[in-house]
Structure 1
């Protein structure tokens, strides 16, 4: 019984990035900070994992609960900004914190993401200190 309880206390983070190296780096940093990590290579896979149907943003109940989503901004098919919009439009997922990462420091892009509901915008490559800040924030939730 205590094992199940302990696993529920570990924050579950969905990391979305089309770049395998960046995805592995984020995964390693999060695991180092005692987070459970699931990765997705693009926005569509992330939505599938979360249980959002592509065409109508309707939650089908088959998604997995996550405590935070961290996504790259610039991805083919669906940007991190578009993923953020879909998550914030979902009645079930709208309260899940979303962190956007980008290697480009573009103030308009950063402001746009924060105005749309992103928890924070971080520059890549992420560092352990960045992830520890996120982990601390997860504990407060």
Structure 2
């Protein structure tokens, strides 16, 4: 009766691999944005990109001009810290103030390793602070920590 056990478990793995977490990647630098997008897609993620924090807020349904209830569902938000207009830290604060989005994990990335900045972001609710440029191993770590398939 238990002879098909190996086959059953490999099929379950195939189903799990079919799960595509949706990540919103926010970065004002086109090259960095494309790199993050490529790394995430290599790890079987669905990726939406935004070139600044205001565009990200619009996409998430938190923008000033966004109609109520038009929020897009994402599993993770990864944002650059240094951006014109609104920093990644300010974007993080807006997300954590939202009753709808406060549970969505936010990861901050920066090319500058400034301990006070890192601790400030983590205190405000960021799940992780990563140094740029991101590598494929960083993305695998993100996927493992924050985007596990939940039934």
TM-score in terms of structure 1 length: 0.90
CA contact (8 A) 1:44 1:54 kept: no
- Which aligned segments of 4 or more residues in structure 1 are displaced greater than 6 angstroms? none
Unaligned 5+ segments in structure 1 are: none
Q: Which residue of 2 aligns with 1:70?
A: 78
| Alpha-carbon separation, structure 1, partners of 2:63 and 2:117 | 26
1:122 corresponds, among 119, 130, 134, to 130
Deviates more, 1:107-116 or 1:129-138: 129-138
Unaligned 5+ segments in structure 2 are: 1-14
CA contact (8 A) 1:72 1:80 kept: yes
Q: Which residue of 2 aligns with 1:109?
A: 117
CA contact (8 A) 2:107 2:129 kept: yes
Aligned residues: 135
- Cα deviation code 1:48-106 (max 9, x no counterpart): 00011338xx9821011000000000000000000000000000000000000000000
2:22 corresponds, among 12, 29, 32, to 12
CA contact (8 A) 1:59 1:90 kept: no
